[in-house]
Amino acid sequence: MQTPHITDSHCHLDFPDFDGERDQIIADAQAAGVTRMVTICTKLRNEPQVRAIAEKYAPVFYAAGTHPMSAATEPLASVDALVALAQHPKFVGIGETGLDYHYTADSAKVQQQSLRIHIAAARQTGLPLIIHARDADDDMARILAEEHANGAYSCVMHCFSSSPELARAALDLGFYLSMSGISAFPKSQALRDIFAAAPIDRILVETDAPYLAPPPHRGRRNQPAYTAHTARVGAEVFGMNYADFAAQTQRNFDRLFTKAARYKATA
């Protein structure tokens, strides 16, 4: 029986944690049914290295942006630069961007400015925005709504682990929530309840590798193959069998990441 196919919608394959092992990491992912991975560039100066990984490996797509924790120390992105990067056939999303007030609240203003630039690029390219949100729920909900009122765009709340209120605000705008390994941690029942209340057609799965490995690998390096562990927990949350949940998340990914879906169809 074929292993159900899933997509790791957010990982960081360029990080040094994977140096010398990428061939094996991607082979392991495919063996686990993870047929696609989106590797995320968090600093635009690293975009060439991230792009090279997507070009080398058939299952890998990529996105690029300035991570909010780097917004104050990296050059501010421009809409034109992001739109230019988006011309690459395997560039499928804008970000990650967002707001992080946990460690970097002092750069809130420049984070907000950077976020709005990325939203404008998502709107212009039609590619989904990839959002990182931590300890900034009120500002995040406000900016996402303000910008959506200025012109529609699509979005995924990556590695969602925020409040029910931010989840509802994002879902009300038509956005998606992504389950990471945090969703599978034993003490994350409140988070699982947030996901359970969301429409099943707005759910993605991811690793955020090399971070946040789900059980039974918690505390060790995460990798795209482990998306399957989180997806199995996701199936339980929604009361579905694994194959049906996997198929649903594939449909959801294809609906949001339309460029990746089209690439698969024409490659």
d(CA 30, CA 223): 12
Q: Please indicate, yes or no, if residue 71 is contained in any of the structural domains.
A: yes
Which residue range(s) make up the domain with 217? Answer: 6-262
2 band by pLDDT with thresholds 50, 70 and 90: confident
Strand order in the sheet with 60-64: 6-11, 34-41, 60-64, 91-100, 129-134, 155-157, 176-179, 203-205
Read off the pLDDT of residues 138-194 as tens digits, 9 standing for 90 and up. Answer: 999 999 999 999 999 999 999 999 999 999 999 999 999 999 999 999 999 999 999
Give the predicted TM-score (pTM) of the model: 0.97
Question: What does the block give as tokens for 2?
Answer: 């074929």
Contact 230, 250 (CB under 8 A): no
The tally of domains found in the chain comes to 1
Contact 140, 133 (CB under 8 A): yes
Question: What does the block give as tokens for 88?
Answer: 């690459």
Q: CB within 8 A of 52, min separation 6: which ones?
A: none
Read off the pLDDT of residues 203-253 as tens digits, 9 standing for 90 and up. Answer: 999 999 999 999 999 999 999 999 999 999 999 999 999 999 999 999 999
Read off the pLDDT of residues 55-100 as tens digits, 9 standing for 90 and up. Answer: 999 999 999 999 999 999 999 999 999 999 999 999 999 999 999 9
How confident is the model over 105-113, as a mean pLDDT?
A: 98
Contact 154, 256 (CB under 8 A): yes
Q: Please indicate, yes or no, if residue 133 is contained in any of the structural domains.
A: yes
Q: Please indicate, yes or no, if residue 73 is contained in any of the structural domains.
A: yes
264 band by pLDDT with thresholds 50, 70 and 90: low
How confident is the model over 107-133, as a mean pLDDT?
A: 98
pLDDT at 265 over 80: no
Residue whose pair of structure tokens reads 């990067």 in the numeric block: 85
Q: Please indicate, yes or no, if residue 172 is contained in any of the structural domains.
A: yes
The dihedral through the CA atoms of 87, 91, 97, 103 has a sign that is negative
Q: Please indicate, yes or no, if residue 207 is contained in any of the structural domains.
A: yes
> Residue 193 maps to which CATH number?
3.20.20.140
CA distances from 101 to 55, 104, 135, 166, 190 (A): 34, 5, 5, 15, 21
Q: Please indicate, yes or no, if residue 267 is contained in any of the structural domains.
A: no
Say what percent of the chain tops pLDDT 70: 99
Q: Please indicate, yes or no, if residue 130 is contained in any of the structural domains.
A: yes
Q: Please indicate, yes or no, if residue 1 is contained in any of the structural domains.
A: no
Q: CB within 8 A of 239, min separation 6: which ones?
A: none
Which has the higher per-residue pLDDT, 264 or 27? 27
7 band by pLDDT with thresholds 50, 70 and 90: very high
Q: CB within 8 A of 225, min separation 6: which ones?
A: 25, 28, 29, 31, 32, 34
So what's the pLDDT on residue 104? 96
